[in-house]
Amino acid sequence: MIKYILKKIGYMIVTLWVILTITFFLMNCIPGDPTQDSMKVLPEAVANNLKARWGLDKPLSEQYVIYLKNLLHGQMGESYKTPGLTANQIISERFPASLQLGLQAVAVGLILGLILGILAALHRGRWIDFLTIFIAIIGVSVPSFVFAALLQKYAAGSYFPIVGWSSKGMGIGQIFQYTFLPTVSASISGIATYSRFMRSSVLDVLSNDYILLAKSKGLSNFQIVKRHVLRNAITPIISIVAPQVANIVTGSFVIERIFSIPGLGRYYVESVNGRDYPMIMATTLFFSFIFIFCMVLMDILYAIVDPRVRKSIIEGNK
Amino acid sequence: MTEQSGKLTKEQFTRVGVDEQASENLVRPSISYWQDAFRRLKKNKVAMASLVLLIAIVFMCIFAPYIYPHPYDEQNIEFTNQGPTLQHIFGLDDLGRDIFARIWIGGRVSLTIGVVGALVSLLIGVLYGGVSGYMGGLVDDIMMRILEILSGIPYMVMVIIVTVFLGKGMSSLLLALCITSWTGLARLVRGQVLELKECEYVMAAKALGTPTLKIVTRHLIPNTMSIIIVQTTFSIPSFIFSEAFLSFIGMGIQPPLTSWGAMASLGQQQMAYYPHELIFPALAISVTMLAFNLLGDGLRDAFDPKLRQ
Amino acid sequence: MSNLLEVKNLEVSFHTYAGEVKAVRGVSFEAKAGECLAIVGESGSGKTVTSKAVLGLIATPPGEVKKTSEIIFDGQNIMNYSEKEWRAYRGKDAAMIFQDPMTSLNPTMKVGKQIMESILLHSKVSKDEAKKRALELLKMVNIPNPEERMNQYPYEFSGGMRQRVVIAIALACNPKLMIADEPTTALDVTIQAQIIDLLKKIQKENNTAVVMITHDLGVVAGMADDIIVMYAGRIVEKGTVYEIFNEPKHPYTDALLKAVPNLKNENKSELRIIPGTPPDLIAPPKGCGFASRCQYCMGICKEQSPEYTRFSGSHEAACWLNHPMAKEVYGIKDIKEVFEDGK
């Protein structure tokens, strides 16, 4: 098991290194350097000074080695646009909002989606089933920015503010107030996807003989669902949910823009527009890390939930 | 059991024996898998309606600019942000351009990205997965390792890397989406091929000395076809969706070109006062997504032999 | 001996898009404590549906057990049970063994826990006591190293071992009635014999009534006391093992017996097959269900459903060939002459 986890982490490092290398050389292939990028033309002395400060006067391979070295020390570079501000500072300032939004949206999506999916499967052909199918279809067809914009329009002036995000020192009530609308908008596609998969997964499990055996033991429907359906139905869901969770944690860009949330996603887009290469590099690496980390976590979770997967992993390592 | 008349005649007890025809009648007429799937798809009203709707949308995207009197870049400065009227049925945008005309021009871009993206990732995915699964062994091992690394790259990151390098626009968007999207299909196809390779009828074909090419064309391709078709039907809307999101945050299509996502992005800024500017592009995206998803569902049901009845 | 289970005029239908499938059409039988009743028939004959109905396992909808049906267990009509009474009856009074041991155990729950589950449900015992009982049960069904096995998952068991676990689960609360739905079909022949021996042993030791559902007449001969032969949702013949094997009174029973590979069989060269397929139960035939496949089919068979003819206290069959008129027409005393001489 530990071997398996180590192997997964190994892959993670290789993937990150590939992304890093590609990004690094691509960015440095682009003609021009940051000193020419600004609106005003810098005097040559100043430009050379800046180049030396950013290490741009050295050959590319040396720059790459320096970058890797700094990275190993946890230093992700300095912004071109706002000299003095490091990527580490910006990420630690901007990421919490993105993470909070992502986690809240995933939690809401998973809880509501799984509950709806289970209820729909258990009451197949009844109104709750049709409601779930309806939500699932609408949720995958309507982009989340449309929901967000509609919510924003019709919630204007209500209890929930339509822009902004919770900040430090707010009470739980205020946090709820500020994060409610963005969370709802970001979670709709999750609710739709998870409920749809959960429904078919539960239906699949229900058709198994072991459910009939559980019933013939005299268990009530509730007990059957709790003890025999849930775990078996959730297992196949994990592999579907994993990339989705990773995507939403790293990619609520749209929601951040609409609700003016000071998240990292928005900053990422801004730094692309401003051609702030060290920041693009740092954010790219950071997002990739979070994404891959989520995927590895899900793989491990999968092995914990399903004993058969655990077995195949252990045997595969022998 | 049933009430008996009591009056039974000897004639009734004449032996008639097994009526071969009647007992064999119960066996259904045999139809091919594809005929059967197509028949089932035709019976699925929702899927057929979606198909008709999609054809209509494609038709409009191609021909609307020739039929509709207002060109997509005509500006009516004095009527900016006007709501739907008889003259401009979806209203005008903030620059006084006709939204109905722009929807179809934007649709060209959105649909092209959807279809081209899906086809490219289909081609790469099927080739990669097929080769990997069919070769097996070391080749398979190496190809899967590469795939694992590639699929670890979030698509947003890929879009940004490509955009930074090539600049914003349709081609870099397509390139980035294609690079990240084929891995899922490649895995699926590889799994199918591996499974099929173990199937007894493929082994039988091999044992009988059937040439490799014939095994591939006769057995492997037809049997993975259904999964590929369904997967592609689902990947078209996901490309359209990705395009919409990226254009929405300004990473996608740039003016003067437009797409549904770019239109929605402009509309969202006017949402508070002129909701029609968001609603119509949003409807275009949603209806197309809905139609593709429902058609995909219909195809999946039609191809699933488990449901064959 | 009194009857533990009496099923009277059981009718079960399934409502599908194509129409109402009348899967079981008026079935009556009895099962006695300490005896084994076998229900024999091919797939789709309604035998599994019958057994599920006895445990109240028919999912409604789409299934429907008709109101006029009666299932009397230990003197009580369980068709009138509330959901709570049903749950108390299932697992405790009656238990079921399923056909495919590969799918009848929960793959993500430890085997010991699956056995303890019904013990804890039906008797007020502590977890430790339930564990002890589960260990006893595993020993009883001859599973080696039960202590270790308790903590394993089903995928670590072979098919035969899994079926033993399923039997242990069924035995957990000493049920009076045990229904075994093709318990050996999915197993290797050598394992089949072991499972049958195990069931026999349990039946004798616990004085359990066993209802064995099977299409395998070989299994039946060694185990059953009485046999019911079902076809197209109806009982076509019912009798003791001796009566069914030696004096079949229905062409379907006769055909089934001739389809069994038998060393004593005179036609050593080939097995007899029954051509055709069973009738569509959405629109069941007016007459005898077997008429379309019966080589002795007469005009009347397609017009009217045959009544049961009684041959002894235990033996009856529904076939027009047993009618006095048929005997007169063909000049025979017994249906046996038709089967043997082809009259």
The 10s digit of each residue's pLDDT in C46-76 is 888 888 888 888 877 778 888 888 888 888 8
User: Beta partners for A45?
Assistant: none
The 10s digit of each residue's pLDDT in A241-255 is 777 777 776 667 888
Strand C76-77 to strand C70-73: parallel, antiparallel, or no bridges (unpaired)?
antiparallel
Contact flag B156-A29 (C-beta cutoff 8 Å): no
A163 in reach of chain B (CB within 8 A): no
pLDDT at A115: 92
**Mean pLDDT of the region B108-124:** 89
| pLDDT at A112 > cutoff 90 | yes
- Least confident stretch, A104-118, B103-117, C73-87: C73-87
- Give the one of C88, C98, C155 whose C-beta lies nearest to A213's C-beta: C98
User: Beta partners for C177?
Assistant: C94, C209
| C-alpha to C-alpha distance for B41 and B48, rounded to whole angstroms | 7
The 10s digit of each residue's pLDDT in A199-214 is 888 888 888 888 888 8
> Can you give the three-state secondary structure of C265-282, one letter per residue?
CCCCCCCCCCCCCCCCCC
**Mean pLDDT of the region A116-142:** 87
Asked if C2 and C28 touch (Cβ cutoff 8 Å), the reply is no
Contact flag C295-B17 (C-beta cutoff 8 Å): yes
Strand residue runs (E) in C225-271: 226-231, 234-240
Average pLDDT, chain B: 79
Contact flag C300-B1 (C-beta cutoff 8 Å): no
| C-alpha to C-alpha distance for B55 and B47, rounded to whole angstroms | 12
Residue type, A85: L
The 10s digit of each residue's pLDDT in A146-195 is 888 888 888 777 777 777 777 777 777 777 878 888 888 888 888 888 88
The 10s digit of each residue's pLDDT in A10-57 is 888 888 888 888 888 877 776 655 655 555 566 777 777 777 766 777
Asked if C168 and C141 touch (Cβ cutoff 8 Å), the reply is yes
**Mean pLDDT of the region A74-102:** 81
Q: How far is A225 from chain B (nearest CA, A)?
A: 25
| pLDDT at B15 > cutoff 80 | no
- Give the one of A143, A149, A280 whose C-beta lies nearest to B285's C-beta: A143
| C-alpha to C-alpha distance for C56 and A217, rounded to whole angstroms | 12
Contact flag C297-B27 (C-beta cutoff 8 Å): no
C106 in reach of chain A (CB within 8 A): yes
| C-alpha to C-alpha distance for C129 and C202, rounded to whole angstroms | 22
Asked if B106 and B60 touch (Cβ cutoff 8 Å), the reply is no
- Least confident stretch, B213-217, C4-8, C261-265: C261-265
Q: What are the tokens at B224?
A: 């993975």
Q: Which pLDDT band holds residue B309 (cuts at 50, 70, 90)?
A: very low
| pLDDT at B90 > cutoff 70 | yes
What residue in B sits closest to A283 (Cα-Cα)? B157
In terms of average pLDDT, the best of A48-52, A194-198, B61-65, C300-304 is A194-198
Exposed, middle or buried by CB within 10 Å (0-12, 13-18, 19+), for A44? Answer: exposed
Residue A161 DSSP code: -
Q: What are the tokens at A89?
A: 């500072």
Residue type, A8: K
What residue in B sits closest to C294 (Cα-Cα)? B18
Asked if C53 and C24 touch (Cβ cutoff 8 Å), the reply is yes
Instruction: Find chain B residues with C-beta within 8 A of A18's C-beta.
Output: 149
Instruction: Find chain B residues with C-beta within 8 A of A250's C-beta.
Output: 154, 156
The 10s digit of each residue's pLDDT in C152-204 is 888 888 888 888 888 888 888 888 888 888 888 777 777 788 888 888 888 88
Q: Which pLDDT band holds residue A116 (cuts at 50, 70, 90)?
A: very high
